[in-house]
Structures are given as C-alpha cells and as structure tokens.
C-alpha cells in the first residue's frame, strides 16, 4: 500500500541508477514520480510495480521552465513532495585535460551536474517545506573528493565537487527546517557512464541513496556519504 504522505521525484529515472532508485523507493511504499528529459523515454513504472511507481514526468534539468513545471505539476497532482533524488548527470569528457579543455563539454557538464541539480533543489525546497518531512539526495561521485582529485574526467570531477559544496551550503541553510540534504556516491556500476568497466548493477548502487531518501525524522544530519560513510 502506498504511503501517500511521502512522494518522491527522481531525475534521470529513465534508465540505470535513476530507474533502480525509483524502483527501490516504490518497493518501500513511496509514491515515485519518474522524471526524464523526454517523458516518453521513461518506461511505465520504471521497472517497478505500476501502482506504486506513479507517473512519468518530463523534466529537463537544463531548462528552468521545464524544472519549474515538473515540480508544480507534482505538487498539484499529489498534494505534496517529500523527497528529491538528483540523479540526472553526464560524463562526457574522458581523456580531456584541464589545461586544454573543450569548454563546450565543460559547460555541458556544469550545467547538468551542478546547475541542473541546483535548479531542482530551488524548485523542490519550497514544496518540501510545506510538510514536516523532507529529504534531498544529490548523486555525486568518489571522483569528486578533493583529497583524491586527479587529472581524468576533469569537468565531471569539478562539477561533482561543486555539487558537494552546494550540498554543504544547503545543509547549513536548511538546518532546523526538517529537510535533510545529502550528497551520495553510490560507486561505479554498469551504466553508460562506466563504459562497461564494471559488473556491479545499478540495483546494487541504489541501496545508499534509497536509504538516505527514507531516513526517519530523527535520522542523522545531512552531509556527504559513500556507502553510508561520510566522504570529504
């Protein structure tokens, strides 16, 4: 049975980790809105039980109007929003050097991985604050840690490191509101971003973001997590 007090919106839910997170949340009783750049690319139910998964919604994180409409529509249709999982992202600069960048790719990475998540947070927080329960989970990467920063996937690393910084800012800003904000690195898994270099499934990667999205009201404060362990 759906716990209709908790409605979750997952971006980039048309495949891979996003679809797996949506499925995990639906299996735990949340009503999940599956958001994708093209609503027709989001499979009905995202592979979950159709009755629990809810509906698909078109949401292009690079388009402010699309973002605004998706969250207004979600609140109108369901009367509430409790959880946002910022999963949509791109990794398009393998082999690029910071000293000789393709700035079109850099801009695309920043616009999706940082500003796209930021747009969604800005649209979601006012809706989430109407309730006493709120969770925002930003999908980050182990490649974004400053202590382990390296010279590969440079715009991806920089964009995700900036997303970690945004997460920290939101944690400080929303303290005391009942909204927990986390950045979660689910690790490498067999998605298009992994180039076939791992056999770990998206379902295995969905465990930690799903756990953070379901934290009880008296759960830990928000921060940066990898496999339920803080990362910096």
pLDDT in tens, 18-53: 999 999 999 999 999 999 987 555 554 444 444 455
Which of the residues 40, 133, 156, 195 is marked catalytic?
A: 156
Ranges of each domain in the chain: 7-230
pLDDT of residue 45: 47
Residue labelled with tokens 């929303």:
174
Given the structure tokens 């006493």, which residue do they identify? 132
Q: How many CA atoms lie within 13 A of 207 on its CB side?
A: 11
Strand, coil or helix: 71: helix
CATH architecture of 7-230: 3-Layer(aba) Sandwich (3.40)
Pairing of strands 229-230, 224-226: antiparallel
Q: How far is Cα of residue 45 from the mean position of the Cα atoms in its chain? A: 18
Q: Which of 163, 176, 161, 115 is nearest to 137 (CA)?
A: 163
* Residue 195 a catalytic site member: no
Torsion sign across C-alpha atoms 84, 75, 166, 41? positive
CA distances, 30 to each of 19, 46, 91, 212 (Å): 14, 14, 29, 13
Q: What pTM was computed for the model?
A: 0.86
Q: Exposed, middle or buried, 27 (CB in 10 Å: 0-12/13-18/19+)?
A: middle
Q: For residue 223, is pLDDT > 90?
A: no
**Rg (alpha carbons) of the chain, rounded to whole number:** 16
Indicate the pairing of strand 229-230 with strand 134-139: unpaired
Cα end-to-end distance, the chain, whole Å: 38
Digit-coded pLDDT (tens) for 61-104:
999 999 999 999 999 999 999 999 999 999 888 788 888 889 99
Q: Write down the pLDDT at residue 194.
A: 53
**DSSP 3-state helix, strand, coil percentages of the chain (rounded to 5)?**
45, 15, 40
pLDDT band per the 50, 70, 90 thresholds, residue 12? very high
């Amino acid at each position: 049975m759906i716990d209709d007090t908790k409605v979750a919106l997952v971006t980039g839910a048309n495949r891979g980790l996003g679809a797996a997170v949506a499925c995990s949340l639906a299996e735990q009783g949340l009503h999940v809105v599956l958001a994708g750049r093209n609503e027709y690319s989001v499979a009905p139910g995202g592979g979950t039980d159709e009755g629990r998964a809810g509906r698909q919604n078109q949401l292009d994180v690079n388009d402010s109007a699309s973002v605004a409409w998706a969250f207004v529509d979600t609140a109108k249709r369901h009367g509430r929003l409790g959880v946002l999982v910022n999963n949509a992202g791109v990794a398009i600069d393998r082999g690029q050097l910071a000293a000789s960048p393709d700035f079109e790719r850099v801009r695309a990475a920043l616009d999706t991985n940082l500003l796209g998540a930021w747009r969604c947070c800005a649209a979601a927080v006012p809706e989430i604050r109407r309730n006493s329960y709120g969770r925002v989970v930003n999908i980050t990467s182990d490649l974004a840690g400053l202590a382990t920063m390296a010279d590969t996937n440079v715009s991806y690393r920089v964009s995700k490191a900036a997303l970690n910084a945004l997460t920290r800012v939101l944690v400080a800003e929303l303290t005391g509101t009942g909204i927990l904000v986390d950045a979660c690195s689910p690790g490498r898994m067999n998605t298009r971003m992994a180039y076939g270099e791992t056999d770990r499934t998206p379902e295995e990667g969905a465990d930690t973001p799903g756990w953070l999205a379901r934290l009880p009201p008296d759960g830990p404060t928000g921060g940066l997590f990898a496999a339920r362990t803080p990362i910096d």
